[in-house]
Amino acid sequence: MFKQILVGIDGSEHSYRALDYARNLAEHYGAAVCLLSAYRRTSDLLGYEDYEKLLSRRKAAGQLILDEARKRLGQAAFTVEEELPEGPPADAILTAARIRKVDLIVVGSRGRGALEGMVLGSVSSKVTQLAACPVMVIH
């Protein structure tokens, strides 16, 4: 049923719960998993040296999140790939899902109520509304 599963990871406990679900699905269906952690855009108005430092810190922080996710997967019996794009997380997830032609996106929910989610917006809300494939939101 699933061949490619994309998991949005932001370092939160909810995203690691999503990872657990994705791992179980990947094991059951023999699917490949792509771990994606996006980091905020870095303004090029900072000046070259400050830009490079901030960009490096943001990439390193994102890579630590991906490393922790891989560690939590342990010795996976399925293919695991990573993406570390710059930009808004929901947009990065939607773009990667489209390009990779994934069968399922799995993301965590921060547990916000419907009203608060509408006021604040959320990654999981945007992804569920705009994705071209099924989305599983884990609470």
35-45 per-position pLDDT tens digit: 999 998 877 77
On whether residue 20 sits in a domain, the answer given is: yes
Q: Is residue 99 part of a domain?
A: no
Domain-located, residue 127: yes
- Structural domain count of the chain: 1
Residue 17 placed within a domain: yes
Q: What is the pTM of this model?
A: 0.88
118 within a domain of the structure (yes/no): yes
Contact 83, 36 (CB under 8 A): yes
Which has more pLDDT, 49 or 73? 73
The mean pLDDT of the chain is 90
Domain assignment present for 72? no
* Ordered DSSP codes for 84-103: --BS-HHHHHHHHHHHHT-S
Which domain does 117 fall in, by range?
Answer: 11-31+110-134
Please report whether residue 44 resides in a domain.
Answer: no
Confidence of residue 26 (pLDDT cuts 50, 70, 90): very high
pLDDT band at 15 (very low <50, low <70, confident <90, very high): very high
